[in-house]
Amino acid sequence: MKAHLSRRYLFSASHRLHSDAMTDAENQVTYGKCNNPYGHGHNYIVEITVSGPVDEKTGMVCNLTDLDGFIEREVLARYDHENLNTLKDFARDVPTTENLCIQIYEILHRGFPHAHLERVRLEETMMNSFEFAGE
């Protein structure tokens, strides 16, 4: 029996949306308030969905200890209470929530062996969220 398991984690980080490929005026028009040079922050909620057969011995798709440990080490330790613009992950890409969502997907896709990654969903605020399923 194949099931999907989803787990949500919270982290807080700041960012500034600014593209070196645009003029200051273009940046201002494109990103509005988010272009404020000092940056601003969010409480992000990241929702990870993995899938797989339910193991008959454990009743689990994957052990939550493995998922929690991986997310703690590879995602939360990297992003929580950081300024995203200063991280090497965003040396080239603008730290929009789209790009952050893709980064988190790639981290899991590369490094999490215990279940199949279905989707990463990232809430920037209660009013907006982004999903990436590797497409």
Partner 1 sequence: MVYLTRKAEFSASHYYHNPDFSPEENRRVFGKCNNPNGHGHNYTLEVTVKGEVNPRSGFVVDLKQLKDVMHREVLDAMDHRFLNKEVPEFLHQIPTTENIAIAIWRRLETKLASAQLHRVRVYETPDLFVDFYGEA
Q: Is 81 a catalytic residue?
A: yes
Report residue 35 as tokens.
Answer: 């272009």
What is the distance between the terminal CA atoms of the chain, rounded to a whole angstrom? Answer: 25
106 assigned to active site = no
Q: What are phi and psi of 11, to 5 degrees?
A: -145, 160
Q: Find, among 9, 13, 7, 10, the residue nearest to 89 by Cα.
A: 13
Instruction: For the CB of residue 126, give the shortest distance to partner 1 in the complex, in Å.
Output: 13
Catalytic hit among 4, 15, 34, 40? 34
Active-site annotation holder among 47, 124, 131, 135? 124
Q: Which is nearer to partner 1, 4 or 40 (CB)?
A: 4
Which member of 18, 81, 106, 123 is catalytic?
81
Of 99, 101, 118, the closest CA to residue 49 belongs to 118
Least CB distance to partner 1 at residue 45 (A): 9
40 belongs to the catalytic site: no
Interface residues with partner 1 (CB under 8 A)? 1-9, 49, 54, 57-61, 63-65
The tokens for 41 are 């922050």
Report the catalytic residues: 34, 81, 124
